[in-house]
Each structure stands twice: as structure tokens, then as C-alpha cells.
Amino acid sequence: MYSIQGVPLDNTAFGWRLMQPTKPIGELTVDRTDVRTAGRDGVAAGIPADTGSPVLPFVVKSPRENVEALIALFSVVGAEVSLTADASKTAGIELASFTYDAYGPAEEIVVVKFLVRFPSVWWRGGYEVTGPTNVSASFVLALFAGLSAPVQDLLIRVDGSTSGLRLTDSDGSWLSLTTSAAGEHVLIAPAQAKAVLASAGSWSLSGTDVSDRIDFGGPRSVFEVTPTFTDPKTRSGQVTVNATSWSSATVTVRGKGAHVA
């Protein structure tokens, strides 16, 4: 079952019952550009694609006296839907519209159908921290166990002296840091194209800006961690880290896994 802002939609206290055809699993649309060559059948394969924000129905039966509270709950700006049994798995939502049918004397039972948009597309897990991992010439970071969608909003902290540091995801996207000095703590936010000198152990992006030290790219022109698997149930992000030189340096990653359902 599902909750919004921590309030279960299957809720005896309010007399709410979550009903079919609720579809909290996204029906996703992948937006691909067709590239054609004259005289050849089909289109070019492997063109990077984006996923559109799904709009999904949530249907709730409610006593008439609690319908206003139900609509108010779905209307909260910045609302999150979560799994009632696992509140750490959430998705941001926006109310697109609602309709209703009413039954019984004085329309005492109301069934409300909400259409809800998932603006960021994916369900997200709780925060995970991987590391610190000692820097060497080449090593692999296994990130976000159970991952089934790309993660772009992770944070990466490099502590200590390095040069020529480069992180490469399994899909080919990459992030590089030219240098970090002994005693420095370089915190990188790839999704914001930003790097700062942070305090030891900090995840705050409020330090001195050193964004000119980083670069990134890839199939979708961003650095992202994408799922790899040996079988469909065993998935994680696999990021290879290389460095030209280093001294007592570590890499730590913090972020939320992304999931299609």
C-alpha cells in the first residue's frame, strides 16, 4: 500500500480505501530521436534517450466528510508518495487533476480518482554512503544495490592529494577532477556542475568554489550512475575510478538509489 506525506491511503481512521485502478508503477515513455540515412532501412540505434514524467492514477474511496482532507493531502506542494511498509522508498508527486463519483443517500460515499505526475520519474531509496575508499591506479565502486534507473544527483567527496582522477560509469559517462591537494576535501555535485572545498566529513556545498577543476560528459552529456546486472535481480552501479597520482587519498559517494518501481 501507499502513503502520501506519511499518511496511509488505506486508512481506517479516515475511512479511506485505496482501490483499483491505482497504478503507482510508472508507465514510462522513452523519448528517442529518430536519425535516418537515405537509402537505408530503419533508424540509427544507440541514440541517447530521455524518459518522460509519467502521470498515474490513484483511486481512493472515502466517506463524504473526509473527502476534503483527502484532496488537501494530494494537493500539498512538494508532496511525496511512499510505500507504507517501507517509508524510505519515495517519489515526489504533483497533482494534475481529480474527478469523483458519489454514491448512496446524500452522496455519503465518494470515489475520487487523482491523476498524479511524477516530475522526477523515478522512485528513490534512502541515502546511502559508499566509502571512504582508498584511491589507487584503478578500482571499481559498486553503488546503490538494487538500482534500476539512472542516478545523476549523487555527491562525490575526494579527500587528500590526487591528480588526474577520473570516474567512468559502465554506460560510458565520466567525471574528472584535475587535482586535489593534501588536506583538501573536494565535494563534487555533478548534476549542478559544481565543486567546492568542504570541511572534513561535510556534505554541504557551501565552501570555496573550485568548479573549474572538474569536467564531465557521456552519452547524455552528464555524469550518471546506471544499473548493471549479472541477473535481473542483482543490480548495482559500477563506476571505475582511475588516478594518475595520489597520496593518502580517498573517494566517498553519497546519494539515493533510483528505481522504476
- Which pLDDT tens digit goes with each residue over 71-86? 999 999 999 999 888 8
Q: What is the 3-state secondary structure (H, E, C) of 39-106?
A: CCCCCCCCCCCEECCCEEEEEEEEEHHHHHHHHHHHCCCCCEEEECCEEEEEEECEEEEEEEEEECHH
Query: DSSP state, 225?
Result: B
| Of 20-34, 77-91, 115-129, 153-167, minimum mean pLDDT range | 20-34
172 and 71 inside one domain: no
Cα angle for residues 98, 102, 107 (degrees, 5° grid): 135
State which of 121, 137, 158 marks the end of a domain.
Answer: 121
161 and 182 inside one domain: yes
143 and 185 inside one domain: yes
Q: Give the tens place of pLDDT for each residue, 218-241.
A: 999 999 999 999 888 999 999 999
136 and 117 inside one domain: no
Structural contact between residues 62 and 101, judged by C-beta atoms closer than 8 angstroms: no
56 and 179 inside one domain: no
Stretch 168-192: mean pLDDT = 97
Determine the Cα–Cα distance for residues 26 and 119; give it in Å rounded to an integer: 11
In which element (H, E) is residue 195 found?
Answer: strand 194-197
The predicted pLDDT at position 246 comes to: 97
| Residue 203: all three cell numbers together | 556534505
The predicted pLDDT at position 87 comes to: 83
The predicted pLDDT at position 21 comes to: 83
Q: Count how many domains the chain has.
A: 2
212 and 90 inside one domain: no
Average pLDDT along the chain: 94
Stretch 151-167: mean pLDDT = 98
Determine the Cα–Cα distance for residues 146 and 144; give it in Å rounded to an integer: 6
Structural contact between residues 194 and 205, judged by C-beta atoms closer than 8 angstroms: yes
CATH number at residue 45: 2.40.30.200
| Of 49-53, 71-75, 251-255, minimum mean pLDDT range | 49-53
The predicted pLDDT at position 108 comes to: 93
148 and 246 inside one domain: yes
The predicted pLDDT at position 1 comes to: 85
135 and 89 inside one domain: no
Give the whole-number percent of the chain exceeding pLDDT 70.
100
The predicted pLDDT at position 105 comes to: 87
136 and 196 inside one domain: yes
Stretch 38-65: mean pLDDT = 91
Structural contact between residues 15 and 66, judged by C-beta atoms closer than 8 angstroms: yes
Structural domain for 110, as ranges: 2-121
State which of 98, 121, 144 marks the end of a domain.
Answer: 121
Stretch 34-54: mean pLDDT = 89
Closest CA to 103 of 73, 62, 57: 62
162 and 88 inside one domain: no
State which of 103, 121, 139 marks the end of a domain.
Answer: 121
Q: Give the tens place of pLDDT for each residue, 6-39.
A: 999 999 999 999 998 888 777 888 888 888 889 8
137 and 94 inside one domain: no
Q: Mark out the alpha helices in the chain (DSSP H runs).
A: 67-74
108 and 19 inside one domain: yes
The predicted pLDDT at position 179 comes to: 97
The predicted pLDDT at position 184 comes to: 98
The predicted pLDDT at position 161 comes to: 98
The predicted pLDDT at position 86 comes to: 80
Between 33 and 132, where is the model more confident?
132
In this prediction the pTM is 0.90
